[in-house]
Amino acid sequence: MIVEFVVAAGKKEQARGWVRVADGGVVERGESASAGPADVTFTATPADAQALHDGTLDLSVGFMRGQVKMAGDFGALLQFLPLTGGPSPHVRVAEILPG
């Protein structure tokens, strides 16, 4: 599964990063657009992306509040989100953030 994360202010994209997730963890990471189509693309403002990076905002909570937008396969989202939660997540959100 490929997960992209876009940081944007208004309609202007500031940064983009992606990860390939397999076997419950990140197996590949890159900056800019991924080579193939993303299964899930998250978009957040710079402030919300910083909060995700710092751990003061949980990805699931940000998504449910509408602070983090999602485009793509909802089934893939439901597979991905549980990997990011709990006391020892399999995928740290900071790993998918660009920069």
Could you write out the three-class secondary structure of the chain? Answer: CEEEEEEEECCEEEEEEEEEEECCEEEEEEECCCCCCCCEEEEECHHHHHHHHHCCCCHHHHHHHCCCEEEECHHHHHHHHHHHCCCCCCCCHHHHCCC
pLDDT at 86: 79
What domains can be seen in the chain, in order of their start residue? 2-96 (3.30.1050.10)
- The mean pLDDT value of the chain amounts to 91
> How many CB atoms are closer than 10 A to CB 21?
23
pTM of the model as a whole: 0.90
- Where does residue 90 fall: left (phi above 0), alpha (psi -120 to 50 degrees), or beta otherwise? alpha
> For 72-81, what is the mean pLDDT?
94
